[in-house]
Structure 1
Amino acid sequence: MNSTHFLGEWFDCGASINAMSDPAAIRALCVEHVMRHRLTIAYDFFTHSAHEGVIGALIAEDMHMVVRTFPARRAMNVDLYARQHRHSDIAMAFEVMDGLRDDFRPARSVLHRVQQGVESYPAGRVAVAPTQAFAGARWLAA
């Protein structure tokens, strides 16, 4: 089975603290991005976390996503797993991650990717070096 696991860490998000603290609003965004790809959602649950943020999970056909926000730090973690049947499945996962990232507008993001079952690596899971994306003038000066 081929699959890819994306772990996104987003810092200094431009979304309001209220938006990062609202389970219903975050659920609506996650559902919207998944439904654009015509995936059937089997289960979702979004609630307040102990850190005044939101923790939520969404399970769809051959994918799952877990979201956690930290409004006081203006940070967010997104964990998205996608099983690959066709080349478009991984592209779909990237589009879901990109869409959510655009909604929360982080100034800095780190994306970790782990691939499993890739033919060139028959031994199993293969970690891919993290990538970083910086935006905004204050990060250029650092």
Structure 2
Amino acid sequence: MDGLHLTADLRGCDPARAAMHDTAALRTLCVAAVDAAGLQPVGELFHRFPPPGGVTGVVLLAESHLAVHTWPELAAATLDVYVCNFGADNSGRAESLLSALVAAFDPQAVQRHAVQRGVPLAKGQP
């Protein structure tokens, strides 16, 4: 279960940026970023909400997932990257993917979090 879960809350994104409101643009951005990070997509789903709402997109990865949610009406987006490190350490790939998406949205402010998942329990714990 060893893995890395990264999140980023983006504020001050340009609401006119295509990826903020267009499913095809967000899909293109996400798939290209996943590919550039060296991760393996195995499925995807992107959904547009009625205006002034944004887009939600998920790319399922062999390593786990990428999820992006945009709110053009708030000039905001959230990013969620989770990778398992079962066969190899994918932490660098996860960091690369998150950084590429943050750069693409070019927010005025970013709040990031990282959680190590599946940390082994101390001896004697269930």
Instruction: Please confirm whether the aligned pair reaches a TM-score higher than 0.5, indicating the same fold.
Output: yes
Q: What SS does the corresponding residue of 1:52 show, helix, strand or coil?
A: coil
The 5-angstrom pairing of residues 122-133 of structure 1 reads 122=121
Partner in structure 1 of residue 88 of structure 2? 86
Partner in structure 1 of residue 96 of structure 2? 95
What is the alpha-carbon distance in structure 1 between the residues aligned to residue 8 and residue 38 of structure 2? 23
1:33 pairs with 2:33: yes
Point out 4+ residue stretches in structure 1 off by more than 6 angstroms: none
What is the alpha-carbon distance in structure 2 between the residues aligned to residue 72 and residue 33 of structure 1? 24
Superposed CA RMSD = 1.8
Partner in structure 1 of residue 113 of structure 2? 112
Partner in structure 2 of residue 69 of structure 1? 70
User: Offset at 1:17?
Assistant: 4.5
CA contact (8 A) 1:17 1:72 kept: no
Q: What SS does the corresponding residue of 2:119 show, helix, strand or coil?
A: coil
Q: What SS does the corresponding residue of 1:36 show, helix, strand or coil?
A: helix
User: Offset at 1:94?
Assistant: 0.5
What is the alpha-carbon distance in structure 1 between the residues aligned to residue 24 and residue 68 of structure 2? 13
Q: Which ranges in structure 1 are unaligned for 5 or more consecutive residues?
A: 124-142
User: Offset at 1:15?
Assistant: 6.1
What is the alpha-carbon distance in structure 2 between the residues aligned to residue 29 and residue 17 of structure 1? 12
Aligned-pair identity in percent equals 29
CA contact (8 A) 1:14 1:107 kept: no
Q: Which ranges in structure 2 are unaligned for 5 or more consecutive residues?
A: none
Q: What SS does the corresponding residue of 1:66 show, helix, strand or coil?
A: strand
Greater strand share, 1 or 2?
1
CA contact (8 A) 2:9 2:76 kept: yes
What does the per-residue CA deviation read over 1:43-86, in whole Å, with 9 as the maximum and x for residues that have no partner?
A: 10111125520011100111201110000111001111111143
Structure 2 vs 1, CA of residues 37 and 112 (structure 1 numbering), >3 Å: closer, same or farther?
closer
What is the alpha-carbon distance in structure 1 between the residues aligned to residue 95 and residue 53 of structure 2? 28
Q: How many residues align?
A: 120
Q: What SS does the corresponding residue of 2:37 show, helix, strand or coil?
A: coil
Larger RCO, structure (CA 8 Å, separation 6 or more): 2
